[in-house]
Amino acid sequence: MYDIVNKVSLNPTVTMMDIHAPYVAAKAEPGQFIILRVDEDGERIPLTIAGYDRVAGTVRIIFQIVGATTEKLNHKNVGDSLQDFAGPLGVATELEGLKNVCIVGGGVGCAIALPIAQKLHDMGVKVTSVVGFRSKDLLILEDEFKAASDEFYVMTDDGSYGRQGNVCVPLTEMFEAGRTFDRIITIGPLIMMKFVVMTAKPTGIPCTVSMNPIMIDGTGMCGGCRLTLNVDGQRVTKFACVDGPDFDGYQVDFDEAMSRGTMYRDFERHAYEEACNLFNKEAN
């Protein structure tokens, strides 16, 4: 069992937890993920590692409450335990040799982008971070990003904080001003990453995206996390759990990925409503 040693609500729909998992913490690197089960009857869900403390033996996860399992997970508190916490899985983000990097995060994807920004900062790399949220009340990890960034930009869709607009606005302005980077690393909703890639493409700057498709076993056996890449004119199938989660953004077929991501939306909504009803009955 894996004990919850810290729990913080970052906004009304996003929660941060530190889990005591010393064997995972000993090997974890930015960009990798874990698969957990809340209880012995629970489903397996992947969550990207949002931080780790090798001395304390803890791994940080940050999750958005969007389905039945994340609803159940959010009802766990400090002192409670998780059934399974397997990892680290996937390939760590490749950061060697970089000197000047732009990190672009959107929504809860910022939780995944932050440890990458922090490691780059610790390596002495110049970090420019651009983060975007729908509104101020959904903003997370601002102070942490500021501490890890040489330049930091906040965008909100409604203009309630920072600048109004999406993350591509400051990115376009930097390109027009002649700014360049060794790499752009973008993590967030698929539609956001798609447009970041489109914005960056004319510059030729390498652009890494972090993909989080439907995933079951995390070992490449189920095939649920398959993605289609366009490599030298050929369509190639890759698996996010073992080949990723990082991929060359210029190669990813985002339209297919978005279509696959909605396959179980109705089922997930039904499961989420059932979980909410169960907790409401228990509360009463």
Collect all residues with Cβ–Cβ distance below 8 Å to 173 and sequence separation of at least 6: none
- Region 145-171: mean pLDDT is 95
Q: What pLDDT, in 10s, does the model give residues 196-224?
A: 999 999 999 999 999 987 777 777 777 77
Share of the chain above pLDDT 70, in %: 92
Share of the chain above pLDDT 90, in %: 71
Is the model's pLDDT at 259 over the cut of 70?
A: yes
Quick one: 48 exposed, middle or buried, by C-beta within 10 A (0-12, 13-18, 19+)? buried
Give the mean pLDDT of the chain: 89
What's the rounded Cα separation, in Å, for the pair 64 and 271? Answer: 16
Is the model's pLDDT at 150 over the cut of 70?
A: yes
Nearest to 272 by CA among 70, 86, 129: 70
Task: Give the pLDDT band of residue 266 (cuts 50, 70, 90).
Answer: low
> What is the enclosing helix (H) or strand (E) of 123?
none
Radius of gyration of the chain (CA): 19
Crossing angle of helices 190-200 and 168-176, rounded to 10°: 10
Say what the pLDDT of residue 225 is: 80
For 227, which DSSP code? E
Q: Bridge partners of 235?
A: 230
Is the model's pLDDT at 275 over the cut of 60?
A: no
Q: What pLDDT, in 10s, does the model give residues 17-58?
A: 999 999 999 999 999 999 999 999 888 889 999 999 999 999
Q: What pLDDT, in 10s, does the model give residues 94-104?
A: 999 999 999 99
Domains of the chain and CATH, by start? 2-89 (2.40.30.10), 93-210 (3.40.50.80)
Crossing angle of helices 190-200 and 254-261, rounded to 10°: 170
Is the model's pLDDT at 260 over the cut of 80?
A: no
